[in-house]
Amino acid sequence: MIIGSISENQNFEKRISLTPEIISKYIKLGFEVQIEKNYGSHLGFKEVSFTHAGAKILNNDEEVIKNSDVIIQLDLPNEKKFSLIKNSAILIGSFNSLQNKDVIGKLSSKGVNVFSLDLLPRITRAQSMDILSSQANLAGYKAVLEAFSFFEKAIPMMMTAAGTIPAAKVLIVGAGVAGLQAVATAKRMGAIVFATDVRMASKEQVESLGGKFLTVEGAENLETEGGYAKEASDEFKKKQEELLAETLKKIDIVICTALIPGKKAPVIIKDNMINNMQSGSVIYDLAAIQGGNTAYTEVDKVVDKNGVKIMGERNILNKLPVSSSNLYAKNLFNFVSNLYDNENKKININLEDEIIKNTLVK
């Protein structure tokens, strides 16, 4: 079987789905690997590193698509290329399946099996395939660095003969994978770190990393069976707003990470809260692409409100494309390995497997 991958639209996505290290693993599994010319060159990967790993380099993306039995990507290919995909092919990636259901339906109607790893169940066996966790880890880390680069004061406490510089106070909104990595990164850099989340299970995790967990009085545990956050009640939102409003008056840097799968991001930091923050404070909003967690977030812009800088990018992982590609490629390989029947050397779409059943988009 042939497994292939083409370059993404690099205006929006610099990551790749196949790295030389992973290509050799696919070949050991029994696949032939095909990619187009200059695949990965923008990340510093030379074509010789792909060919040494065993990949075949084709002239263009159309040839790769036509030949491939399994196509692995980050985003959906351009719709103009749908006609080139084999009717029996398998397409695997992270396709934002809830928003792109109609587009994916066009592929499914011609017999293409589309697997979207944003639907992966959060079970132990699926951890090595969990693209949301691997990518969110890097996003949380990078968001802290980006926010710190805009903050015009020192982060750690510094005691000098001329006087003492106090440590920066950082608030992490949302203590999922990205948020916990943000807590750990900010703490390592010497900040005083606070975090808040609707899931009470996050409290112990935040405190284990050295952060202080802000708890709403009488908080309910708003966590789904799959481990994601669910929408809060109006009463909870009111209590959370009161707590945040007071806390934000003393905070220097905020990292927002709160997302609800398939829905617009909740607006947690309102305009009146931002107006009461100290001038010079910074907010980095990782939820920008889904509407943002603040009242003023704009994608790929730095908004200044009364001296408070608010920013959020379409794809922060474009600033860590090599590391994020390495992890993403490993996640995909582990998913394909689970699909592959090694004994019969073919793909087996076993719908009794929870991982396969949940990620197959119909």
Which residues form the catalytic set?
122, 127, 130, 133, 228
Q: How far apart are CA 31 and CA 42, in angstroms?
A: 25
* Long-range contacts, 271-276 (Cβ 8 Å, 24+): 271/295, 271/296, 271/305, 272/245, 273/241, 273/244, 273/245, 273/248, 274/248, 274/305, 274/306, 274/308, 274/310, 275/305, 275/306, 276/245, 276/248, 276/249
E strand spans, 185-244: 192-196, 212-213
Residue type (1 letter), 181: Q
What's the burial of 59, exposed, middle or buried (CB within 10 Å: 0-12/13-18/19+)?
Answer: exposed
Q: How far apart are CA 231 and CA 229, in angstroms?
A: 7
Phi, psi of 291 (to 5 degrees): 105, -25
Which DSSP letter does residue 151 get? -
Nearest to 132 by CA among 141, 122, 142, 146: 122
Q: How far apart are CA 55 and CA 311, in angstroms?
A: 40
Phi, psi of 303 (to 5 degrees): -95, 130
Contact 67, 4 (CB under 8 A): yes
282 CA to centre of own chain: 21
Contact 296, 271 (CB under 8 A): yes
